[in-house]
Amino acid sequence: MYSNEPHIETNGLNAYYGNIQALKNISIVIPRKQITMIIGPSGCGKTSLLKCLNRFFELSPNTSVTGEVLTDGENIYNPSIDITEIRKKAGLLAQRPYPLPMSIYDNVAYGIRIHHTRPRREMDHWVQHYLEIAGLWEEVKDRLHSPANNLSIGQQQRLCLARGLAVEPEIILGDEPTSALDPISAQNIESRLLDLKSQYTIILVTHILRQARRLADYVIFMYLGEVIEAGLAEQVFNHPQHERTQAYLSGVF
């Protein structure tokens, strides 16, 4: 079905908040270096699914997960695995940007420092590099050492993108990364993500169908914790197979 080789696969993934089952037997394939978008009504488990892909789900209290998530063929729920490596590989762009309590420069340098991904003496170069990729460099190059929380929300979200990229992930997870932004900033992030597609596997959650149509190569439609339909974007959007998908896409709910 997919032209690109799979990057992530889930097999019979179930996720629970206490007794509430948020994900029911999810088995999906996410192709490499493409944009996969998860859509579905509020509360259907989009965020939960995304969080299972970088082991963020277990940070909420009383949660449990069964089944497997294979990233590059390796089960990330294997008890012997290093969680920090999983999270390094799959960077998360949250709904609301959360800068670290330090300067703009240090926010980007943070990931490089903790993972030693680049030599220390080349730090200036790499900080500039990632800020450029995130499309923020021109706006902040004269105030790299001022606090990151003085930036506008849209700028903060691009800073979070730069910060996440500096860790050298292979996968970018975005949970409605543009929903707190104004239309111009949102468009800015969208075009960044399109640029990044050639190098990263990108998985985005969105509420906005038009955004999904603009960005998606592949679409996963969820409903009440289940994946109802998944496939090529044009396939799902133009010829939905399941009636729930048809109803959702035509705006019935």
Ligand X SMILES: Nc1ncnc2c1ncn2[C@@H]1O[C@H](COP(=O)(O)OP(=O)(O)OP(=O)(O)O)[C@@H](O)[C@H]1O
Which of ligand X, Mg ion, other proteins, none does residue 114 bind to, with CB < 5 to 8 Å depending on kind? other proteins
Residue type, 97: P
Phi then psi for residue 160, to 5 deg, are: -65, -35
201 binds ligand X, rule: CB under 6 A:
no
Distance, in Å, from the CA atom of 227 to the CA atom of 192, rounded to the nearest integer, reads 28
Distance, in Å, from the CA atom of 26 to the CA atom of 46, rounded to the nearest integer, reads 11
Which residues lie across from 219 on neighbouring strands? 37, 231
Q: Which residue, 203 or 230, has its beta carbon nearer to other proteins? A: 203
244 binds ligand X, rule: CB under 6 A:
no
Q: Which residue, 81 or 224, has its beta carbon nearer to other proteins? A: 81
Contacts with 49 (C-beta within 8 Å, 6 or more apart), sequence order:
13, 15, 23, 26, 38, 222
Q: CB–CB of 97/164 below 8 Å? A: no
CB under 6 A: which stretch of 44-52, 108-116, 132-140, 188-196 binds ligand X? 44-52
Binding positions for other proteins, rule: CB under 8 A: 54, 56, 59, 84-88, 91-92, 94, 96, 98-103, 110-111, 114-115, 147-150, 160, 163-164, 167
Q: Which residue, 43 or 119, has its beta carbon nearer to ligand X? A: 43
Q: CB–CB of 198/217 below 8 Å? A: no
Q: Using the rule CB under 5 A, which residue among 10, 34, 36, 47 binds Mg ion?
A: 47
Least CB distance to other proteins at residue 167 (A) = 5
Q: CB–CB of 251/234 below 8 Å? A: no
Which of other proteins, ligand X, Mg ion, none does residue 84 bind to, with CB < 5 to 8 Å depending on kind? other proteins
Q: Which of these, 85, 94, 86, 27, lies nearest to 53 by C-alpha position?
A: 86
CB under 5 A: which stretch of 20-28, 39-47, 137-145, 166-174 binds Mg ion? 39-47
48 binds ligand X, rule: CB under 6 A:
yes
Q: Which residue, 175 or 217, has its beta carbon nearer to Mg ion? A: 175
- Burial-class residue 240 by CB neighbours within 10 Å (0-12, 13-18, 19+): buried
178 binds Mg ion, rule: CB under 5 A:
no
Look at the alpha carbons of 67, 31, 221, 176 in this order and tell me if their dihedral is positive or negative: positive
107 binds ligand X, rule: CB under 6 A:
no
Q: Which residue, 20 or 194, has its beta carbon nearer to ligand X? A: 20
Residues that bind ligand X (CB under 6 A): 17, 20, 22, 42-48, 60, 207
